[in-house]
Structures are given as C-alpha cells and as structure tokens.
Amino acid sequence: MENKDNDLNDDLNALSYQVIGLAIEVHRQLGPGLLESAYQTCLFMNFKMQALKLKKK
C-alpha cells in the first residue's frame, strides 16, 4: 500500500511540475497585464498540445 502511495505522490509531483512549467512559459510568452481569460486560453491550448486532459471551468 505504501508503494502505491509513493507512486501516486511521484505522479502528482511530476504532473504539478509540468503544469506549473506550462503556466510559467505561457506567462513568459504573453507577458504581464492581460486578462486572465487570455492566459487561460493559451494555457488550455498548451495542455492539449501536451496531451493533458482537463475540463474548462
């Protein structure tokens, strides 16, 4: 059971690292001062390009 927990933690850490990295890259490319919706749209597109599944809010 503990091994499964460790595997899950490793997977979540890797996913978190990837998501944060994509968010930073989107902000770096677009720059500051845009509406949240602009960043959200670009981030969603990047998620799709990286084959990450998500739901829009």
Question: Within 10 Å of residue 29's Cβ, how many Cβ atoms?
Answer: 9
Retrieve residue 48's tokens: 């799709």
- Tens digit of each residue's pLDDT (9 = 90 or more) over 1-57: 667 778 889 989 999 999 999 999 999 999 999 999 999 999 999 988 988 777 766
Q: What pTM does this model have?
A: 0.78
Tokens of 33: 């001062």
Distance separating the N- and C-terminal Cα atoms of the chain: 34
